[in-house]
Structure 1
Amino acid sequence: MNKPIYNLLLADDDEDDCIFFKEALDELSLPVNLVTVNDGVELMRFLDVNVLDNLPDILFLDLNMPRKNGYECLTEIKAVKELSGLPVVIFSTSLDSEIVNLMYEKGAVFYIRKPGDFAKLKKVIGEAFAKATVNNFKQPAREQFILQP
């Protein structure tokens, strides 16, 4: 039986975080293709170009990006009919409870606080991918929204 290949999109302005994310995916040997964009304007342009036939299966979205932040992007994504079903995993250094609650209300699937340790990063990315695919990319109950390694 062939596993499907999932298309992941990472929107993050931190080059090191993008490299670590890719390395974690490589070590996990997940059936994925990864594309990265470096800010919110680039993200929305990518989604606009690919809206009809090439949307990612999961978007990992950093909140603190230049030009357009993750909150603005999530709000826009959920407001566009063709994009509203895109599963978004917030991937941020912040774990402020007000922000977490707002991201849940806006429709994000999971919230991950970026761990500083590579082994923890690998674990939490694998967990997010596994839970998202098992749950058919749907938002879980609020108490299962935050993923921590």
Structure 2
Amino acid sequence: MTASVPTVHTPLFYVVDDDQDDCLFVKMALSHHYRPSVVRTFQDGPSLLTHLTHLLDGRLPDLLVLDLDMPLLTGFELLTFLKQNSEYKTIPIVVVTGWEQRETMERCLALGASAYLPKKIVYHKPSATVDCLRPYWNSLGHQPLSSAQLLDVQDLPNN
């Protein structure tokens, strides 16, 4: 009788952003801090949905990083669709966007985002992206991060 060897779960990340530089930046940050991992990038919502509906990776991603300002389907539309669909609502979604208004953050969290990071924080402190994901990752994504764990909300304008 042979002992069963536990399988190692390689993290699978999806990054959805129409800006190729932003995709590359987030991909490099995730790949650097989570080794080994698989990071897939998508330029728009329809390409992500095609990949998800056909389950081309054989499973759902462990985490989806989402921009809001995209063509075809906005990040808000994509977030709403994913969180209202029983097949995808358990995917943790981190919004990484150039939109810095408190209202936008609150709307994303109300729609079901697990975390929200303005791009200026990500670019000025690249480790912030990974640091904000660490508590999520340690808890296997069962609890969304509180806004206090994401960023100092005092840095966001009220309008």
Q: TM-score, normalised by structure 2?
A: 0.80
Question: Aligned with 2:53: secondary structure?
Answer: helix
Q: Distance in 1 between matches of 2:38 and 2:57?
A: 19
Q: Give the 5 Å matches for 1:28-47.
A: 28-47=33-52
Q: Which structure 2 segments of 5+ residues have no match?
A: 1-5, 153-159
Match of 1:67 among 72, 75, 78: 72
Per the TM alignment, residue 13 of structure 1 is displaced from its structure 2 partner at its CA by 0.4
Q: Distance in 1 between matches of 2:61 and 2:107?
A: 23
- Higher relative contact order (Cα pairs below 8 Å, separated by 6+ residues): 1
Matched-pair contact (CA < 8 Å) for 2:92–2:113: yes
Q: Distance in 1 between matches of 2:88 and 2:122?
A: 32
1:102 maps onto 2:107 in alignment: yes
136 and 29 in structure 1: CA distance in 2 versus 1, 3 angstrom threshold: closer
Q: Distance in 1 between matches of 2:33 and 2:52?
A: 26
Q: Give the 5 Å matches for 1:1-149.
A: 4-50=9-55, 53-115=58-120, 118=123, 120-121=125-126, 123-137=127-141, 138-144=143-149, 146-147=150-151
After TM superposition, where is structure 1 displaced by more than 4 Å over at least 4 residues in a row? 116-119
72 and 142 in structure 1: CA distance in 2 versus 1, 3 angstrom threshold: same
Partner letter of residue 41 of structure 1?
A: P
Partner letter of residue 46 of structure 1?
A: H
Per the TM alignment, residue 130 of structure 1 is displaced from its structure 2 partner at its CA by 1.1
Question: What RMSD over aligned residues (CA atoms) do the two structures have, in Å?
Answer: 2.4
- Structure showing greater radius of gyration is 2
Comparing 93-102 with 132-141, greater Cα deviation is found at 132-141
Per the TM alignment, residue 56 of structure 1 is displaced from its structure 2 partner at its CA by 0.4
Matched-pair contact (CA < 8 Å) for 2:31–2:37: no
Partner of 2:157: none
Comparing 21-30 with 53-62, greater Cα deviation is found at 21-30
Question: Aligned with 2:125: secondary structure?
Answer: helix
Q: TM-score, normalised by structure 1?
A: 0.85
